[in-house]
Structure 1
Amino acid sequence: MTTGRRVPARRWGRRLLFSVRGRATLITVAVSALILALALVLMLLLARDWAENRVGRLTERTAERIAFDLSRGRNPGIIDVRPDEAQMVQVVTPQGKVVAASDAVRGRPALATADLARGELLIDQRVCPRFPKGCVWAFGLRIRTSPWGPDVMVIAADPLPGLLNVWLLPLALFGLLVALLSLIAWWTWHTIGQAFVPVDIIRSEMADLDARGLDHRVPVPQAGGGIQSLAERVNATLDRLEEAVTRERRFVSDASHDLRNPITGLQTRLEVALGEPDDADWKPMVRGALRDTRRLNDIVADLLELSRLDARTPKPVEPVDLAALVRREVGLRAGDAPITTRLEPGVVVRANPVRLSRVLGNLLGNAERHAESRIEVTVARDGGDAVLEVLDDGSGVPEEARERVFERFARLSESRARDPQGTGLGLPIAREIAEIYGGSLRIADSPAGARFVLRLPLITGDGPPR
């Protein structure tokens, strides 16, 4: 039984100490306890001062009235007090003898005395005589003439409120403090628990993600604030994850299809070559096998480059003059469409030259496949950017398909017709490289053909690129 009781206690201890809900409740209760304790102590002091001042005014008013009556010769032997006045009144001689008193203290010793030799003419203090039980507030004043001789003192006293003489008021305030802290603790625990209900729902939904599938989304609370933002961010992450998994599956399917064709062709040609007689002309078959081998090499190179880009594999960077890069790359092309250039000198970016050459080569290869009669390459500055444009005079890319061509393995019908052997990886690779170096690649409007615009941060004379 003892072990069974310890387990819930341990569990609650962990919830209080290690959960956000428990720590927030403990901190709130601790801060509230400090503030409330200070406030209640201040209230206790103010209540005590108010009670003492009230009793002090009552005794002062009573003593002044009795002294005035005695100085006029009224009621020399009887001390009458009114119901709204202090009930304990004494007339005390300089020697400390009580010569007159009210009914409440008749026959009792002096409540307080004053030393005339020290010049004490007034008493206004808290005193605790042997009677009555508890302390009283005494106010006394000395009168020069009286029926009992000169310099007698009229003393009026009244008990202080019982709550201030014992521990009842502090205990009551302590009980109030405990009640308020209990209420604050419950309210904090309940409120934070309610605030974390959507988080618990999101957590349970994410825990069941394997069973539900990546197309499942967590509920989004409409209360606003950080919880709604968290749910929206989780759903956005699930969107990207589902898209990545879908793209990976499509990648495997398309890559398998693209690899199967040249491998099948290569295998067939090699089998035919082996089945031919020794004097057969085998060169055409070997040339076909070589083309298939080159296509396989291109596909594998694109896949390897994509894997490096996805892993953000670093490559050394250096300043690259775009004009010089364009001149070198254009000099290596031997396509049917002539290439004209408009190159602004001194347009330098920081990147890996091999990767930039691949970007330009992919853009020029795409332009050569679709151009009718010409290709134009432009390099210029635009503010803090270096801009490289490749423009052809082909049929162009429809506006609704301009982002689709940058998806991996995505190919438009015209592209498939012009280049059946293509893989659809050139433009996605080019955009990935541009984004790695802080730039962008997009298709802009043009009067005719397709206009690809590459932007990269420009190196200025003041320092590295922005």
Structure 2
Amino acid sequence: MRPLTVRARATLGACAVVAIALAVASMALVGLLDANLLHNAEADADAQADAVAQEAVAGRLDPLLPPTHGADFIQVVAENGRVLTSSQNLAGRAPISAHQPTSPGTVRSTWDVGALGDQHRQQVVQVTTETGSGLVTVYAGTSLRDADAADDTTSAALLVGVPLLLVTVAVVTWWVTGRALRPVEAIRAEVAEISDRDLHRRVPVPQTHDEIARLAVTMNATLDRLESSGLRQRQFIADASHELRSPITVLRTQLEVALAVRDPAAWPELISGALEDTDRLQQLAVDLLLLARIDAAEPVSDQRLNLTELVREAVDKRHGDRVPVSVELVPDVQVTGSGLWLTRVVTNLLDNAQRFAEHSIAVRLTVPEEDGAQPAVLEVTDDGPGIPPTDRERIFERFTRLDDARSRDHGGAGLGLAIARDLAAHHYGTLTAEDAACGARLVLRLPLAPAD
């Protein structure tokens, strides 16, 4: 029985809140109105009872009291229960109350009695005072017809007005909620029609500049990212297929030649070439697998690492490199992350420098001594041909080679720097190509580990 739509729940909630508020307000209104009218009636009767009591003390009571303003009836009763005088509408009637006060002085009390020749309730005030002939009690009563009429009128008005107001609230809430949710339905309908081949479509953005408009903008931004991811994935698959085709084709050709050649003396050279292409194919497969893991957003380890030792070990393992590497490292630079992945970043930077350096490669690790949280800065510089400023971002794209023939000769697939940048970003760092006096200068920045 629970409403299933936001529109229905909003309408029901608004009606429930308004109904509770109206019920409380109606009871308070009727209660305050009745209390005010009763207070006025009691004050009038009290004034008349005091006036008659003063006449009794002075001994000037008339046999029949004339009608007075503010009291519908008056009755004066002696201490022995005999009625001394009364207003005309109570002439010949027994005392209103069978209980006779015995205490001297003045006593006032108020109570409701049934109709005394009247169809409405009566509010009676009793004033007891001491006279020369004993205690005398004066009863003065006033009709509550005005209070009853006001209560009846107010109650009738509320019985009619409250349901009408609730219906009005329900209709207005239903209409306003429907208009507010109309853009949401348009967004839902558009998203429902978007498939993996329609990621170029966007949801409509209402001109209301409210939360729904911001939802639409956020949805479109998400679709932008999905489209970009899809394009990047398709491009990656196409590039990977192209890159895999070349070594596989070469490997197949070498194996076919080896099979066709009957001279055993030529087999070692053919097998050696096949093994080189197999290694290249294996390395390419490893790089593609690592890129897939990065794109899957695998969480980075929060292991505390000594970046200085990690860089030193990565450099020391490269004894047979073509170009010597000079090292300048600040001691004990602490970062957090995956030691395996950060080692891969350093290795890729050194591999790139070895491909293009002529005589020297320099590795420098520093921590700027400036105010604020400064990252660790690792610079890898070579004295090769350098990187043109227009290509300093393009070199980090996957399968990008500035000199395709030269890169192939050196065994590169155009993935090393792309992997290094993605791994740096995975560690909340950056990798950029920056100005250098000569050659290329790649700069890795990583946030320092928090102090213990």
Q: In which range does the TM-score fall when normalised by the shorter chain? A: 0.7 to 0.9
The question of 1:247 aligning with 2:232 is answered: yes
CA distance in 2, matches of 1:429, 1:354: 13
CA distance in 2, matches of 1:398, 1:69: 120
1:261 partner letter: S
Judge which range, 178-187 or 194-203, deviates more: 178-187
Judge which range, 357-366 or 123-132, deviates more: 123-132
Q: TM-score, normalising length from structure 2?
A: 0.80
Structure 1 partner of 2:70: 85
For 2:195, what is the secondary structure of its paired residue? helix
CA distance in 1, matches of 2:80, 2:114: 18
Structure 2 partner of 1:3: none
Alignment: residue pair count: 443
In structure 2, list runs of 5 or more residues that go unmatched: none
Structure 2 partner of 1:158: 142
Structure 2 partner of 1:46: 32
CA distance in 2, matches of 1:62, 1:36: 39
CA distance in 2, matches of 1:116, 1:272: 136
Aligned CA RMSD, in angstroms, stands at 3.9
The question of 1:307 aligning with 2:292 is answered: yes
Partner residue of 1:416 out of 404, 421, 424:
404
Partners of 1:134 and 1:165 within 8 A in 2: no
Judge which range, 288-297 or 259-268, deviates more: 288-297
Please list, as runs of the form range in 1=range in 2, the aligned pairs for 1:155-304 lying within 5 A after superposition.
Answer: 155-161=139-145, 164=148, 168=152, 173=158, 178-210=163-195, 213-224=198-209, 226-278=211-263, 281=266, 284-304=269-289
Partners of 2:48 and 2:140 within 8 A in 1: yes
The question of 1:137 aligning with 2:137 is answered: no
CA distance in 2, matches of 1:68, 1:353: 107
Change (3 A) 1:369 1:201: same
1:158 partner letter: T
In structure 1, list runs of 5 or more residues that go unmatched: 1-12
Change (3 A) 1:444 1:176: farther
Change (3 A) 1:337 1:52: same
Partner residue of 1:455 out of 442, 445, 450:
445
Partners of 2:107 and 2:126 within 8 A in 1: yes
CA distance in 2, matches of 1:128, 1:293: 113
The question of 1:127 aligning with 2:112 is answered: yes
1:197 partner letter: R
For 1:61, what is the secondary structure of its paired residue? helix
For 1:59, what is the secondary structure of its paired residue? helix
For 2:102, what is the secondary structure of its paired residue? helix
CA distance in 1, matches of 2:96, 2:52: 16
2:406 partner letter: R
Change (3 A) 1:346 1:66: closer
CA distance in 2, matches of 1:155, 1:201: 76
CA distance in 2, matches of 1:211, 1:435: 27
Partners of 2:115 and 2:121 within 8 A in 1: no
Change (3 A) 1:263 1:212: closer
How far residue 233 of structure 1 moved from its aligned partner, in angstroms, is: 2.5
CA distance in 2, matches of 1:23, 1:343: 65
For 1:86, what is the secondary structure of its paired residue? coil
Structure 2 partner of 1:428: 418
Partners of 1:127 and 1:136 within 8 A in 2: yes
Instruction: Give CA deviations for 1:377-421 in whole Å, capped at 9, x if unaligned.
Output: 111234564332112344544556544433333x25x34253146
Structure 2 partner of 1:339: 325
For 2:187, what is the secondary structure of its paired residue? helix
CA distance in 1, matches of 2:37, 2:395: 88
CA distance in 2, matches of 1:314, 1:116: 92
